[in-house]
Amino acid sequence: MITVLRLGHRRGRDDRISSHVGLTARQFGADKIIYSGEKDSKMMESLEDVIDRWGGFFEVEYRIDFRKVIKNFEGLKIHLTMYGESMNDKIDDIRLKTEEDLLVVVGSQKVPREVYDMVDHNIGVGHQPHSEVAALGVFLYSLNDGEIKEKFEGAEVKVEPSRNQKLTRTL
């Protein structure tokens, strides 16, 4: 099971990015997202609405204390940060441990220093400033050897791939 922990959500400022973290986690194979920071029921309901319409099993949860989430997580803990060890150098080692549950931590505002010490690996997808959404997508894509989840059970709507137009189909 892959869980994503989004640190430090701020209502009004991070709504769109936090939603995109959740959507990216879902699309690239995570099973759950936990938000910390400010509770934002509207943002979480929006994500749950996508799950209801587009299908699949994906949990959305809010936890006020991210420290307890990290401390009590039983499995491999990865923090995505541009300051970490190179993902290209560590991804094979991480893949070998994927029989364990996996917690992937992504920040928003400045990540508290203690997070770096609470995880098993601090991984840099790149060592330049970039989005946590991009880092999560690239990391999960690499972790899954480039496989993208395409089937979501219980979907009410589905995209029909097209070269030049937007097509959806109600199921």
pLDDT band, residue 3 (cuts 50/70/90): very high
* Prediction pTM value: 0.93
CA distance 83 to 39: 28
Each residue's pLDDT tens digit, 20-34: 999 999 999 999 999
pLDDT band, residue 166 (cuts 50/70/90): very high
List, as one string, the DSSP characters of 95-143.
Answer: HHTTTS-EEEEE-SSPPPHHHHHHSSEEEES-SS---HHHHHHHHHHHH
The architecture in CATH of the region 2-170 reads 3-Layer(aba) Sandwich (3.40)
The pLDDT score that the predictor gives to residue 78 is: 97
Where do the structural domains in the chain lie, given as residue ranges?
2-170
Is the Cα torsion angle 85, 89, 93, 96 positive or negative in sign? positive
The pLDDT score that the predictor gives to residue 165 is: 94
The pLDDT score that the predictor gives to residue 151 is: 86
Give 163's DSSP letter.
S
Contact residues for 43 (Cβ-Cβ < 8 A; gap 6+):
9, 11, 15, 18, 19, 35
Residue 39 in this model has a pLDDT that exceeds 90: yes
For residue 121, count CB atoms less than 10 angstroms from its CB and return exposed for 0-12, middle for 13-18, buried for 19 or more.
middle
Each residue's pLDDT tens digit, 45-75: 999 999 999 999 999 999 999 999 999 999 9
